[in-house]
Structure 1
Amino acid sequence: MRVLLMTCGSRGDVEPMIALAVQLRALGAEVRMCAPPDFTALTDEAGIPLTPIGPALRPMVKGAVTGTKPQPPSSLPQRAAEMVTTTYDALAPVAEGHDLIVATGLIPAAAAARTVAEKLGIPYVFVAYFPTYLPSPHHPPLTWPGRTFPPEVTDNRKLWDLNTEHLNELFGPGINAHRASIGLPPVDNARDYVLTDRPLLASDPVLSPWPEPASLDVVQTGTWFRPLDERPLPTDLEAFLQAGTPPVYVGFGSIPLRDPEDVAKVAIEAVRAQGRRVLLGSGWADLALTDDQDDCFTIGEANHHALFPRLAAVVHHGGAGTTTTAARAGTPQVVVPQFADQPYWAGRVADLGIGAAHDGPNPTFESLSPALRVALAAETRARAGAVGATIRTDGAAVAAKLLLDSTQAVPVAV
C-alpha cells in the first residue's frame, strides 16, 4: 500500500506525520510526505521521501509576525487561492499510484489534498491535532483574521454556523475556482469538505479529550509520537545540565516573536528571580542570551524527549507537540500562548494542574513571575508526574493500523 502524507504548517504539524510515516512503514506501507521545504532535514533523518510544497515557510511567517512583510486580513482569500493551486500542483504529480492521502494543516492546503484524492478516486483522511479545530457544541471555533464573532452570540452551535460562513468567504472562492479549472463541481461548505465527517484526532484523551456527544464521528487515536527517540543530547548541553540544578527551559519552537530580545530578557530575569538556571531554546524566534553569566545556556536543535524530563519547568508557546511532550515527561509547564490552538493548550495545562497559563502573548517580569511560582511548586510537579504517567505513546501505531485495515474500518472520504 502506498500512502501520501500532506501537511502545510510548522514543525508541530510535521513531526506527528513523521511519526505516522514510521509506523506505516513498519506495517509494510510505502510512504511519501509533502510539506514545506523547511523540514527537509527532519524527513531526511527519518528516511521519508519529501516533495516540497511552495517556498520556505519560516521567512514568510517571520515577516508576517515582525511586520517586515505585512499581510492585511483582506489579502487572505487571495493568498488562500494561491495556496490551493500551489499545493495541488505539488501533490497531483506524485499522488498517482497512491492508495490513500492523509492531510492536516491549513485549510486551503488540505482542500487541495482532498481535491487531488477526489480527482484520482482514492481515499482521503483529515487529521486534527487538537479538539477545538473540529466543530462541536462543547467548544467555540477559532477566530480568523478579519472575521470576529458578535459579542452577543455565545451559543457554540451558532458560533460554528458563523464559522462556516467565515471560512466559505475566506477560502471558498479560491477552492472552487481551482476546482472549476480542473473540471470538478463547486463545494458549498469549504470547512466540512476538508474535515470530513469522520476525521482522526491525534491528541491524548487525558490531556485533550474529545467531548461527546458531537455530530462528527471523531476517531481519537492518541498523540502521534515517533518511536523512542534515542538521540543523545549535544555534549555542551549535557555538560550544562550536569553542572548544576535542573534549569527552566524557555523556547517558542517554530513561532517567531515580534520582540524576541525583550522576551528573552524578561524570561531570564524572571527565572533567575526564582533561583533557577535558564536554558534558552533559540527556535524560529532566534532567542539569545542577554549576558555571559554561567547560569544561562542557549541551544538550537535538541531531542526534547530526552531533555524535558531533566528540567525544572518548560516555558513555551503552547504548541500541541511541545505541550504533550512536556506533559509526557512529567515536567511542569508555563504556557505563553501566541495564537490559534495555543490558548486551548494553556487552558488545559492550567485545568489539569500541571502548570500555569500565562495571561496573553507578551510576558513581563510581573506577569511571568507568578506563573513560574505555580509551575515550580512541589504540588505542581507531583501532579505533572501523575498526569505524565497516563499519557499514551501508541497513537501513531493505532492510527497506522486503522489506516491500513480494511475500508470498513478506515475513516475515508472520496
Structure 2
Amino acid sequence: MGEFLFQTSYKIIEPNLVINMHFAITTYGSRGDVQPFVSLALGLMDNGHQVTLLAPGNFKEFVNGYGVNFYALHGNIEEIVHSPEGLRVLKTGNTFSLLRYMQKAVRKLQPVINNDILSGCADADVIISSVLCIQWVKAIAEKLNKSWGVIQFQPPTSPTKAFPFVGLNFFNFPNYNLFTYWLLGVINWSLNKREINKFRISLGLKSLKRPTFGSLRSENILNLYCFSQLLIKRPDDWPSNTHITGFMTLADRKTTYVLRQVDEILLRWIEDGEKPVYIGFGSIPIPDPELFSAILIEIIQKNNIRVVLCKGWTILPGIPSHPNLFVLDSVNHEWLLPKCSSAIIHGGAGTLAAVLNAQIPLVIISVFGDQPWWGSIIENKRLGIHIPFKQITTAKILDALYIIQTDEYLNNTRKMGDEIQLENGLQHTVKMLEDYFVAQSL
C-alpha cells in the first residue's frame, strides 16, 4: 500500500511518529457490526494503544473473550429482530422497510444509548464510529472536544461518479450516481434531523441545518471503508480523507469465547468424512425457516452432503439428528472455514471476508441490504454463485454447489485469498488511524 502521509494546513507528519492514545470504538447492531471492530481493537492494542469497545450489552462475553475492554450500550438487536414485527418485515426482503422498523425500535432506546456513549467516550482521546452511530458520535465528539473518525464495512455512502449507492443501483452513469448519494443524505436527514437536533440542544450545541454525512467531507473527518479493493476499487473522485483499507478478520487470534471442547468434537466429525459445506446466516434470522429446514433436510438426507450448520440468530424447526449434519449456535469462522469445502452464507461483509480469507468458494443467499450487492460482485468475479433468498430451491443450491467446485472457481478463490491476505487490511487501517490522529494531536 505504501507509506501514507496526512498533510494539514499547518504540519506534515512523519510516517514513523506514533503517540499512544486511548481509542473509544462505538458500534451498534449485529455481530457483523461488532466482530471487525474486535480485530481493530486488537491491532491497536498490539501497537500500544488503549481501546474501549462500546457495543450492545449482549456482546460482552464475546468481546471480553478476546481480552478487549468492553463498555455496554443498552439494547439488544437480536431481541429487536426476533420480535413478531421484526420477523414479518424481514420476511418481505425490503431493505428500506427493515431499516425503518429498526430505526423505530432503536429510537425508543436512543436517549439512553447516547448517554452510554457520552459516558463511555469521556476518557478517550479519539472516538471511532460505525456508520449507524455517526450522527450521535458527531455531537458527542463536539461536546467532549474529541477527535473522531468513521469506519464502515457496508457499501460506500461517499459520493462518487463511479457507481451509484447500492440501494439505488437501477442505473449507472455519472450524474445519476452522484444523485443517489445526495438523495441518500436527504432521506437520512429527513428521518433523523428532529431527534439529532434535540440531542444536540440537550448537549448545549447548535442545531444542524444540513445532513451529517456531508460534514465528513467538509470537516475532513477520516472515513475508512474496511473491505478489499480487489472487490471494489477506490474511486478517483473521493476526497483525501476517504479510503478503502482492506478486510479486518480475527485470524490467528486466541479467544476464550469459543469452547475448546466443541472444537475438538467438531474436528473429529470433520476428519471422519469428506470436507463439509458450511451454512450460516450469522446475525440475520432466516426469513422462512420452514422452507430452509426442508431444503436442508433434503440436502443432507437425499444427496449425502455433509453440512456444518451455524444457527446464529435463527430458530430452525424440525431439524433432525443426522450423521451428515453438525449443528452449532456460533463458531470461530477463521478456525472452521479452512476445514470446509465451500460455504453458503447470507453475504454480510464480515462473513464474506472470512470465507474469502479461507480460500473456499461460496454461495450467497442474500436477504436484504448490502447482501445482494456483495452477491453480484462475487458472482461477476467467478468466486461464487448468488441466489436471492426469495428464489431458493434445493435444485438451485445443489447446482450452485456443483458449479463452485469446478477448477475455475477453486483457482479463483485460492488466488483471491492469497491477494487479500497480502493486503493486510488490519495493519493498513491501524496505520491510517495513527497517522491521521497523531496529526490532530500535535
Bin of the TM-score, shorter chain as denominator length: 0.7 to 0.9
> Does the 8 Å CA contact 2:311/2:329 hold for their aligned counterparts?
yes
Deviation at 1:409, TM superposition (A): 5.2
Size of the alignment, in residue pairs?
405
Structure 1 match to 2:4: none
Show CA shifts across 1:198-251 (max 9, x none).
Answer: 401111221333233335742222112235135666122112101110111111
Cα pair distance change 1:262/1:137, threshold 3 Å: same
One-letter code aligned to 1:129: F
From 420, 425, 431, the counterpart of 1:395: 425
Residue pairs, 1:1-150, within 5 angstroms: 1-63=21-83, 64-67=85-88, 79=105, 81-82=107-108, 84-106=110-132, 109-143=133-167
Q: Distance in 2 between matches of 1:14 and 1:337?
A: 20
Structure 2 match to 1:205: 229
Q: Distance in 1 between matches of 2:352 and 2:308?
A: 17
> Does the 8 Å CA contact 2:216/2:223 hold for their aligned counterparts?
no
Cα pair distance change 1:294/1:36, threshold 3 Å: same
Q: Distance in 1 between matches of 2:72 and 2:307?
A: 36
Aligned to 2:197, what secondary structure does the other structure show?
Answer: helix
Give me the TM-score of the superposition, normalised by structure 1: 0.88
Q: Distance in 1 between matches of 2:279 and 2:377?
A: 19
Structure 2 match to 1:294: 323
Aligned to 2:237, what secondary structure does the other structure show?
Answer: coil
Q: Distance in 2 between matches of 1:76 and 1:12?
A: 16
One-letter code aligned to 1:163: L
From 158, 163, 171, the counterpart of 2:192: 171
Structure 2 match to 1:405: 435
Unmatched segments (≥5 aa) in structure 2: 1-20, 92-96
Q: Distance in 1 between matches of 2:397 and 2:364?
A: 10
Show CA shifts across 1:266-312 (max 9, x none).
Answer: 13424666552121111101346732331112122222112111111
Cα pair distance change 1:328/1:54, threshold 3 Å: same
Bigger mean CA deviation after superposition, 323-332 or 371-380: 371-380
Structure 1 match to 2:285: 256
Cα pair distance change 1:134/1:38, threshold 3 Å: farther
> Does the 8 Å CA contact 1:87/1:113 hold for their aligned counterparts?
no
One-letter code aligned to 2:63: T
From 264, 278, 290, the counterpart of 2:307: 278
Structure 1 match to 2:348: 319
Structure 2 match to 1:192: 214
Cα pair distance change 1:282/1:89, threshold 3 Å: same
Q: Distance in 1 between matches of 2:226 and 2:100?
A: 32
Deviation at 1:10, TM superposition (A): 1.1
> Does the 8 Å CA contact 1:114/1:194 hold for their aligned counterparts?
no
Q: Distance in 1 between matches of 2:103 and 2:348?
A: 25
Structure 2 match to 1:159: 180
Bigger mean CA deviation after superposition, 190-199 or 246-255: 190-199
Deviation at 1:87, TM superposition (A): 2.8
Aligned to 2:204, what secondary structure does the other structure show?
Answer: coil
Matched, 1:356 2:356: no
Cα pair distance change 1:193/1:37, threshold 3 Å: farther
> Does the 8 Å CA contact 2:251/2:335 hold for their aligned counterparts?
no
Q: Distance in 2 between matches of 1:256 and 1:3?
A: 32
Aligned to 2:326, what secondary structure does the other structure show?
Answer: strand
Structure 2 match to 1:182: 203
Show CA shifts across 1:363-408 (max 9, x none).
Answer: 2224323322222323211221111111136322222233233646
Cα RMSD (Å): 3.0
Q: Distance in 2 between matches of 1:371 and 1:133?
A: 31
Cα pair distance change 1:395/1:68, threshold 3 Å: closer
Q: Distance in 2 between matches of 1:32 and 1:213?
A: 34
Residue identity over aligned pairs, in percent, reads: 24
Structure 2 match to 1:378: 407
Cα pair distance change 1:213/1:47, threshold 3 Å: same
Residue pairs, 1:235-246, within 5 angstroms: 235-246=264-275
Deviation at 1:25, TM superposition (A): 1.3
Deviation at 1:253, TM superposition (A): 0.5
Give me the TM-score of the superposition, normalised by structure 2: 0.83
Bigger mean CA deviation after superposition, 386-395 or 287-296: 287-296
Q: Distance in 1 between matches of 2:288 and 2:98?
A: 20
Q: Distance in 1 between matches of 2:169 and 2:425?
A: 35
Q: Distance in 1 between matches of 2:22 and 2:190?
A: 35
Cα pair distance change 1:74/1:326, threshold 3 Å: closer
Cα pair distance change 1:134/1:360, threshold 3 Å: farther
> Does the 8 Å CA contact 1:104/1:127 hold for their aligned counterparts?
yes
Aligned to 2:65, what secondary structure does the other structure show?
Answer: helix
Matched, 1:220 2:241: no
Show CA shifts across 1:156-213 (max 9, x none).
Answer: 1122222121111112221112112222122211333468754011112213332333
Unmatched segments (≥5 aa) in structure 1: none
